[in-house]
């Protein structure tokens, strides 16, 4: 059995690396390099300005946050009885919220097919639980913020 070698193109070919003529005249290349340098310089200047503005913005936001925290701490110091009362109310409403979530999740599990298939049932569920949950969360957030530690 004889195997004839098939004619295949070579894996490697020769490459001519001799210096050729430039694709563009040197003057055009220098002008393009100068334009590119100017463009990069302009971009760098814009980035520096953007960083300055961001630093100012962060400084302003931090100052406002510190001022609000200081005002809240002053209010807490002036109203310690109310702060304790808000803390107790938040704890009680937290337990109410837990029970409400338990009831809501049981409702979802018991009516899962109807909720998936029926738009009416889903709308009824959202109408029944949605506003109450949203308002309860809002009240709890206020109470938690008021009753937070005065060191914070």
- Cβ-in-10-Å burial (0-12, 13-18, 19+) of 143 comes to buried
Q: Which two tokens stand for residue 92?
A: 């009680």
Above 80 in pLDDT, residue 16?
no
* pTM attached to this predicted model: 0.56
Total residues found in the chain within this entry: 152
Which band of pLDDT confidence, cut at 50, 70 and 90, is reported for residue 110?
very high
The pLDDT value recorded for residue 132 is 94
67-96 pLDDT, tens digit per residue, is 999 999 999 999 999 999 999 999 999 999
Check residues 1 and 122 and name the one with the higher pLDDT.
122
pLDDT value at position 152? 37
pLDDT at 150: 41
Hey, where are the domains in the chain? 26-78, 80-152
For residues 117 and 150, is the Cβ–Cβ distance under 8 A?
A: no
Q: What is the rounded average pLDDT for all residues in the chain?
A: 86
CB 121 within 8 A of CB 115: yes
| Token pair 């998936």 in the structure block, residue | 116
């Amino acid at each position: 059995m004889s195997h004839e070698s098939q004619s295949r193109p070579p894996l490697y070919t020769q490459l001519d690396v001799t210096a050729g003529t430039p694709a563009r005249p040197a003057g055009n290349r220098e002008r393009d390099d100068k334009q590119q340098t100017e463009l990069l310089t302009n971009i760098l200047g814009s980035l520096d300005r953007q960083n300055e503005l961001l630093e100012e913005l962060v400084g302003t936001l931090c100052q406002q946050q510190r001022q609000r925290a200081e005002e809240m701490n002053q209010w807490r110091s002036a109203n310690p009885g109310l702060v304790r009362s808000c803390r107790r109310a938040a704890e009680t409403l937290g337990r109410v919220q837990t029970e409400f979530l338990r009831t809501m999740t049981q409702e979802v599990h018991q009516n899962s097919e109807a909720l998936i298939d029926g738009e009416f049932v889903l709308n009824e569920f959202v109408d029944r639980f949605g506003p109450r949950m949203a308002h309860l969360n809002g009240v709890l957030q206020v109470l938690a913020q008021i009753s937070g530690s005065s060191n914070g």
